[in-house]
Structure 1
Amino acid sequence: MSTALTGAPPADAPHRVTDSDPLLHPDPAAAAEHAAVESLLRCWARETGAAPGADGLLRIPVLGGAARLAAPVRYWSACGWHRFDPATLEGEATPVDAVTLAALVAGAAATRPDSGQIADLAARVADSVVRTADVLAHRRRVAEAVDWPFLQAEQALLLGHPLHPTPKSRDGLGPAQSAAYSPELHGAFRLHWYAVDRDLLAADSATGRPAEELTAELLGDERLLPPGTAALPLHPWQARELALRPEVAGLLADGLLHDLGAHGGLWHPTSSVRTVCRPGAPWMLKLSLGLRITNSRRENLRKELHRGVEVHRLLESGLGAEWRAAHPGFDIVRDPAWIGVDLPALGDPNGLDTVLRSQPFGPAERVLCVAGLVAERPLGPGGTLPSRLGDVLRGLAACSGRPVQAVAAEWFLRYLDTVVLPVLWLDGRAGIALEAHQQNSLVLLDEDGWPAGGRYRDNQGYYYRASHAGKLAARLPGIGTHSDTFVDDGVVDQRFAYYLGINHVLGLIGAMGSQGLAEEDVLLAALRRFLAGERAAATGSGLPRLLLDEPVLRCKANLLTRLNGMDELVGPVATQSVYVGIRNPVASR
């Protein structure tokens, strides 16, 4: 086995693997059930430091120590992407289902959650399992619905975040709504439109054109707009929910908002569910959506809208040209405009604000969400558990006549230079750290499949270092005034190490290892050479030394965050989530 991230099992611990992979069970419900069990076990191992014993079993004391759960380890990952066979209570033969497992591990958690928190977790695990089963059933009988590589990758997260206890929980979506609004189910829908009286209109644009001109073009027929109004696109689920809010109902009754209904062609949800795209359209739209997806309700905060436009203006002030000169293959997918309603009585978020995000990708461009690239595709039954990354690496190996693991190591090194190094440059040279987890990060592949460029997307995930406040203000006077983006350097260091270091890079290594594409020890050695090299040092970022030197890293604990009932988009950055210390496999020799 590989060395554990949170604690190493004995060197002679057996590698216990059943004959068939439970994720490839012919019954989609059984496969979904097991996926949820594995996610919970991975969370437990990461957040408590638990490791398997000499017999290859991960044991969890439950019911106050009166019983123990035991899960045979299929694969123990240095980077946390463990695989397990079904878990049982010791002495019992029947596997424990995901909801029971959730309740047992919640009761055993150090936070001592109350019964309401345990019930909430169990309910969300049940919801996630049902939705995952629906996804697997659909994808096992329906082929890819589009030819656009970008959208295919956005629709590829069939199991969701591998280290989240409720990766597919979407509180409030009925079956028909789920079919229309879920990327994994090839969902598509028409936008719902409001017309906003210009006295209430709130908007900003750094595109050279007013935001209301851009949305009017997307609406397609300005005759639909009453005089003195602007077009506001909404998610159809959000529009129905908004009409039930007294403040919005009052605006509709008074004629300050006009419900225009659904118009236009079909838009497709991306991996975030609420951001939608349409082939050939110049914009993607990041819509407000009051659903609780994983841990948070997904309505746009006003500071995030300001942040997206501000970052675009900052890059256009000259920073972007400097960055492209050093790393011409990397950029940020810009959020240069937004439109909404300005009414303090609605609060913030008000549920009526929409972001216009640039859509720069051509129909044949191989630009892929990293989370979708590495996501497991349990589309069996069969003998292997493929991913898009596995397809790419095996294709490269076949063309070159080289072993897959040798190709994987070279691909990983190219990826570090192409996608990771530019993010370090922006941190070190400009004092801007990106929340570059795998879902926020895109990789551009050349025609053969090698990394050729990268993109970052997300108007939430920017951290301006407090130590760089003067330099950033010189580039863009007034920066941070409305976006609330300056953060103490110590907090930035912790978050940057988690999002880019643990979630993104170590997650990539873990995925490649657990899928049999590479040895994690080999990739970790390659990562150390990259971090210790001249190019990483020249960026000026402190992250390379932190990853090389710190024996313990602070890591977001999704299970404990869920058990504490925390919404990760609410409150100060430093206290939005629970963080725990984990052993650093990069610093381990």
Structure 2
Amino acid sequence: MQDFSRHPTSDIHSEWADRLAATSFFNALLRETSHWWLVDHGSDEIAVIPLTDDHNRCLRLTLEHRSLSGRCRVQLPVMRATGDALEAITFEQAVAYLLESPWLREHPLVGRLDDARRDTFFESVMGSRNTIAAALAGRDDLEHLGQGPLGFLEAEQGLLVGHDFHPAPKSQAPFDAEQARDYTPEHRACFGLVWWGVSPTRAVGNSSREMAAAAMMHDLLPETLAERLPVGFSALPVHPWQSRFLQGREDIAALIDAGELIVLGEERDDAATTRRWYPTSSHRSLYCPQTDWMVKGSLSAKLTNSLRVLHGNEVMRGLRLDRWWPGVKPDIREHFHLMQEPAWLGWKNDDGEIDEASLALLRENRIQGSDAPSVVLATLTQPLGRAGQTLLANGVRRLAALDNLGEREAAIQWFGAFCERVLSPLIRLVVEEGIVLLAHQQNIVVRLDRERPVGVDYRDCQGSGVTAHFEACHPEESVSQDHRITADMLTRYFPYYVIVNSTLSVTAVLAEAGFVEESVLVAHLRAHLTALRERAGNGDTTLLDHLLDSNMLEVKSNFFCYLSGLNESTLDDPATIYLDMPNPLSIKSAVD
């Protein structure tokens, strides 16, 4: 980790935040455009990015490491070349220069970049960078976050960097600095839920269990607030920021005045109730160690590419999965636990439609009382320390010491366990059951035992679907159109989320640490997928065929999606923000 003893705190945190922000920014940019080239420079590579059509002015970016998926370790400062002259510039200056370059101001996804959109993007990028700096400055456990081991909540609130491939991974609009401290996980926030009462004529919800959704929610309501709930009203838990947002809407204020909605109040940390709710890495999913349920609610804030509001069709997916899950083969479920989402609640507007800003769902709290370390994959792989120092890499070093292994062998064994206990269930669910879980790094909670992956607690039933194979095997089941995954959707989204975003982040980290060549790990991955295909039997091998035989995989265009200002969650055709990337699995690397 960094040595803070030799630097003023503000200086070192600012320098560190620049590197982390620049890494995510340039990872995304270099993946999504061909307007750059590489130059060898000793053990490093230099990415040259033109700023003018004649290439007379360029940015020169030193890459200490570059993975097969494009994850780079960026070294600062960025150099600005004008002819033969070189000038060291800040990350902020580099972003500003890029946004003036002709090729960046004209892009098929963005169109012509106008000044307003450019300024908004620039402010968001630097705001994200400042968020990272503030989080670093506010933590007294940075060494621990990089070294570990971490428990579930430590890992959730220890994700300080965010997405590896995004220009503004910690953008938090519309939170201000005070709200960020109060409500965001990187500031280790905790708070009480605000409870609302919803009249019988307005309440809407559903449950896949014997108990109704309103009754399940009511079981979480503190006694001191239950006394204020009128008979027949449903109790609805709401994030405190969202509660204030809702009360600021004129239509909601009218419903409150009419007595159809009641703000019961906020849970208080007093003698009556000592529980607190902690935002996890997704911000809107809240964890309380003392309860059987986590709460995920709508948050009308744009974080990364989308407004974090639940949709009616999304919350129904959890109910279906809850009903279907017992029928999944026991050996798939043995080490792969799905955090079920069997109940949701909200209210209807005057037109009788669901007000999606009001929605909240219950998610199983599988972490409660668990002794095994459970760490979200995104925190395991985040580049928080110096080159080669991630939480995952340090765990592998401990594994090597525990089992008297060389670090190379420990890394290969860790990755083998990851493939067996994390990746295999996700693949087998698709191939054998026709159930698709679009598992990215922030939805995969890895259970560890003696530093090895032994299982998964998977969350986010909204990012799920079923294929034609599921419907053929279960013709009696009713599947809505929005829950169906076509072959094109499967081969686009699943490889991006599960292979590129999640699995190849692991190979990148292990290779960057110097444990083992990434090509060796990818060869192991290919062999693992090949074995799954060979024993698929009557399963649907569409996914495995694509992963093993296609020359290209598709990846999300986070940079240009964000630059364009699109809301990813409401796109008519999300395929428009995906682009081709060479498939590392198509190269049959030889294992040493």
Residue equivalent to 1:88: 79
Q: Does 1:559 align with 2:559?
A: yes
Residue equivalent to 1:533: 531
Residue equivalent to 1:420: 423
Change (3 A) 1:143 1:226: farther
| Distance in 2 between residues matched to 1:576 and 1:348, nearest whole Å | 27
Aligned pairs for 1:434-473 within 5 A = 434-446=437-449, 448-466=450-468, 468-473=470-475
Aligned pairs for 1:77-476 within 5 A = 77-86=67-76, 87-90=78-81, 91-98=85-92, 100-101=94-95, 104=98, 107=101, 108-109=103-104, 110-111=107-108, 112-140=112-140, 149-221=151-223, 222-264=226-268, 265-316=275-326, 318=327, 320=328, 322=329, 324-343=330-349, 345=351, 350-361=356-367, 362-378=369-385, 386-446=389-449, 448-466=450-468, 468-474=470-476, 476=477
* TM superposition shift of 1:120: 2.0
Helix, strand or coil at the partner of 1:533: helix
Change (3 A) 1:537 1:59: farther
Change (3 A) 1:472 1:567: farther
| Distance in 1 between residues matched to 2:527 and 2:150, nearest whole Å | 36
| Distance in 2 between residues matched to 1:144 and 1:392, nearest whole Å | 12
| Distance in 1 between residues matched to 2:23 and 2:499, nearest whole Å | 22
After superposing the two structures, state which structure 1 stretch, 337-346 or 39-48, moved more. Answer: 337-346
* TM superposition shift of 1:75: 1.0
- Whichever residue aligns with residue 532 of structure 1, its letter is T
| Distance in 2 between residues matched to 1:63 and 1:140, nearest whole Å | 44
1:16-54 per-position Cα deviation (integer Å, ceiling 9, x unaligned): xxxxxx9x9961112112222222211122112444223
* Preserved CA contact (<8 Å) 2:20 2:384: no
1:420-445 per-position Cα deviation (integer Å, ceiling 9, x unaligned): 11111111122222111111112111
| Distance in 2 between residues matched to 1:25 and 1:51, nearest whole Å | 35
* Preserved CA contact (<8 Å) 1:37 1:98: no
| Distance in 2 between residues matched to 1:386 and 1:29, nearest whole Å | 19
* TM superposition shift of 1:354: 0.1
* TM superposition shift of 1:115: 2.6
| Distance in 2 between residues matched to 1:578 and 1:586, nearest whole Å | 23
1:448-494 per-position Cα deviation (integer Å, ceiling 9, x unaligned): 121111132112211222454343442x2x2226xx21132112211
* Preserved CA contact (<8 Å) 1:467 1:489: no
Residue equivalent to 1:543: 543
| Distance in 2 between residues matched to 1:195 and 1:240, nearest whole Å | 15
What TM-score do you get using the length of structure 1 for normalisation? 0.88
After superposing the two structures, state which structure 1 stretch, 424-433 or 43-52, moved more. Answer: 43-52
* TM superposition shift of 1:377: 2.5
Residue equivalent to 1:19: none
- Whichever residue aligns with residue 189 of structure 1, its letter is F
The gaps in structure 2 that reach 5 residues or longer are 1-6, 269-274
| Distance in 2 between residues matched to 1:422 and 1:104, nearest whole Å | 42
1:172-197 per-position Cα deviation (integer Å, ceiling 9, x unaligned): 11222111211111110111111111
Residue equivalent to 1:12: none
* Preserved CA contact (<8 Å) 1:568 1:577: no
Helix, strand or coil at the partner of 1:139: coil
Q: Does 1:30 align with 2:15?
A: yes
| Distance in 2 between residues matched to 1:85 and 1:25, nearest whole Å | 20
| Distance in 2 between residues matched to 1:26 and 1:523, nearest whole Å | 38
Residue equivalent to 2:485: 487
Helix, strand or coil at the partner of 1:566: coil
Change (3 A) 1:135 1:336: same
Over the aligned positions, Cα root-mean-square deviation in angstroms equals 2.5
1:530-555 per-position Cα deviation (integer Å, ceiling 9, x unaligned): 11225664264333332222112111
Helix, strand or coil at the partner of 2:384: coil
After superposing the two structures, state which structure 1 stretch, 418-427 or 29-38, moved more. Answer: 29-38
Q: Does 1:523 align with 2:521?
A: yes
Helix, strand or coil at the partner of 1:240: helix
| Distance in 2 between residues matched to 1:371 and 1:106, nearest whole Å | 33
* TM superposition shift of 1:60: 0.6
* TM superposition shift of 1:148: 7.6
| Distance in 1 between residues matched to 2:363 and 2:514, nearest whole Å | 37
| Distance in 2 between residues matched to 1:117 and 1:185, nearest whole Å | 29
Residue equivalent to 2:586: 587
* TM superposition shift of 1:237: 0.6
1:58-104 per-position Cα deviation (integer Å, ceiling 9, x unaligned): 01111444521111121121222111212121133222323642661
After superposing the two structures, state which structure 1 stretch, 59-68 or 69-78, moved more. Answer: 59-68
| Distance in 2 between residues matched to 1:472 and 1:570, nearest whole Å | 30
Aligned residues: 553
* TM superposition shift of 1:512: 2.0
- Whichever residue aligns with residue 215 of structure 1, its letter is M
* TM superposition shift of 1:224: 2.1
Change (3 A) 1:114 1:203: same
* Preserved CA contact (<8 Å) 2:444 2:457: yes
Helix, strand or coil at the partner of 2:49: strand
| Distance in 1 between residues matched to 2:282 and 2:516, nearest whole Å | 29
Change (3 A) 1:69 1:100: closer
1:90-130 per-position Cα deviation (integer Å, ceiling 9, x unaligned): 13322232364266157433334333332221111011011
Residue equivalent to 1:5: none
* Preserved CA contact (<8 Å) 1:372 1:388: yes
* TM superposition shift of 1:140: 4.3
2:40 aligned residue (25, 50, 54): 54
Change (3 A) 1:326 1:363: closer
What TM-score do you get using the length of structure 2 for normalisation? 0.88
| Distance in 1 between residues matched to 2:469 and 2:479, nearest whole Å | 14
* Preserved CA contact (<8 Å) 1:472 1:479: no
The gaps in structure 1 that reach 5 residues or longer are 1-21
| Distance in 2 between residues matched to 1:464 and 1:99, nearest whole Å | 46
Change (3 A) 1:148 1:414: closer
Change (3 A) 1:51 1:458: farther
* Preserved CA contact (<8 Å) 2:157 2:186: yes
Identity %: 29
